[in-house]
Amino acid sequence: MKASVIISAYNRPEYLQRTIEGYLSQSCLPDEIVIADDGSTAETASLIFSLSRNSPVKFLHVWHEDEGFRAAKIRNKAIAKSSGEYLILCDDDSIPVHTMVEDHLKFSEKGCFIQGHRALLGQTVSQDFTFKDISLMALFYLMLKGQAGNILNAVRLPLPLIKVSQSLKGIRSCNMSFFRKDIIAVNGFNEDFKGCGKEDSELAVRFYKYGLRRKDIKFRACCYHLYHRHYSRDSLERNLALLEKAKSENGYFCKNGIDKYLQGL
């Protein structure tokens, strides 16, 4: 099954490079890597060109003007340009375990989307942490130094713990996957969301109304979240209202979604 990795990015080339390198070192390479660039400067474009030159994986760089935090819009544009049957979403600050793509594909299931989990890295270690530094012993040592959290998510047991639900708790699109046909069916992310917060939870609400279930896979598909300052929450109240609106409505197809980018494709 053809898989596309969609990486949301904005002006963090030093983080994006390490995230991309993690995806180029997978046990199962994705068929393509699509950068959903929310208005970064030319430095990010140069990095993507450099990494793609001799890569066995196809790269696409989808960019729009910087008009503030518009993750929903740029993800829709990137998904529209992607060609994979199965889509794995992540952010430029989330370094994948080397089995990330393999895990998402192995546990993909019709009627479900996958919610992966993450370990959290502190400010100091995030400055130079790469996929080569991923080991449980190293994370345990970092935890003792106060530089790692949620390390239980990084444990790889012989069998994963799988939970199927329709919960909204812990929904994060920095480690999420689904079939392309399902995101198209609900018309993608709701572009009424601007600023940070809850656009992924609202998508999950509409996925549930469409009939999907959430499939959590613990002890597999972990990513390592690099430290950064919290985003502005100025838009949170407005975004929470949009989330409540989606909960109260019967439909799953948002009006301001991905369909506008699919015309003619």
The structural domains of the chain, with segments of one domain joined by +, span 3-118+160-262
Q: Convert the pLDDT of each residue in 27-86 to its tens digit.
A: 999 999 999 999 999 999 999 999 999 999 999 999 999 999 999 999 999 999 999 999
Mean pLDDT (whole number) for 229-243? 85
Q: Convert the pLDDT of each residue in 184-208 to its tens digit.
A: 999 999 999 998 889 999 999 999 9
Percent of the chain with pLDDT over 90: 91
CATH homologous superfamily for the domain 3-118+160-262: Spore Coat Polysaccharide Biosynthesis Protein SpsA; Chain A (3.90.550.10)
Q: Give dist(CA 239, CA 222) in Å, integer.
A: 27
User: Residue 67's CB: how many other CB atoms inside 10 A?
Assistant: 10
CA angle 246, 238, 253 (to 5 degrees): 25
Q: Convert the pLDDT of each residue in 71-124 to its tens digit.
A: 999 999 999 999 999 999 999 999 999 999 999 999 999 999 999 999 999 999
Residue 1: both structure tokens together: 């099954």
Q: Give dist(CA 146, CA 122) in Å, integer.
A: 7
Q: Convert the pLDDT of each residue in 141-192 to its tens digit.
A: 999 999 999 999 999 999 999 999 999 999 999 999 999 999 999 999 999 9
Q: Which of 235, 164, 171 is nearest to 206 (CA)?
A: 171
Q: For the whole model, what pTM was predicted?
A: 0.96
